[in-house]
Amino acid sequence: MIRVQREDFDPGAEMAAFCAGDTSVGAVASFLGLVRADKTSEGAEGAAVAAMTLEHYPGMTERQLEAIEQEARRRWPLTDVLVIHRHGRLEPGDRIVLVLTASAHRQAAFDACAFLMDWLKTKAPFWKREETAAGARWVDAKASDDAAAERWNG
């Protein structure tokens, strides 16, 4: 299941609902992404982030996230998947993304969760703009994110 939303979410409540009822599940892996203030993206190190705005194209974003989810389901024996990704203006400490994967076995859940995050970082159509005391700037793609995603192409 994919949800792209402006509203915050409760990771504990999402996990409880995700885990409820299916006794074939032996493992649930999770990733929770937060806005951090301690440094900005490459090229502007040292300036604290006051806020980050995530923009997207409604409709196109959901279709791309669904395609990424389907690729994870094709690669691993998953019982369920949940991806919640926020958009709009977020401040340090705010939740950005939650990925949950369920499988009968832990390795599939771990690998699928890592794959989903790596591909979300590089293939999901979100644009990030950071606000710092020095001004606002669009965040460029990072080579390290591309390298992480590339490991799944082999």
* Contact assessment for residue 115 and residue 75, using Cβ atoms and an 8 Å cutoff: yes
Per-domain residue ranges of the chain = 2-153
Provide the pLDDT for residue 144: 87
Token output for 138: 């669009």
pLDDT for the residue 78? 97
64: tokens are: 């791309």
Alpha helices in the chain (DSSP H): 11-19, 60-75, 106-123, 143-150
pLDDT, residue 19, reads 92
pLDDT for position 142: 85
Q: Give every residue of the chain whose pLDDT is below 50, as ranges.
A: 40, 43
Instruction: Please give the pLDDT value at position 98.
Output: 98
Fold of 2-153: Aldehyde Oxidoreductase; domain 3 (3.90.1170)
The burial class, CB within 10 Å (0-12 / 13-18 / 19+), for 68 is buried
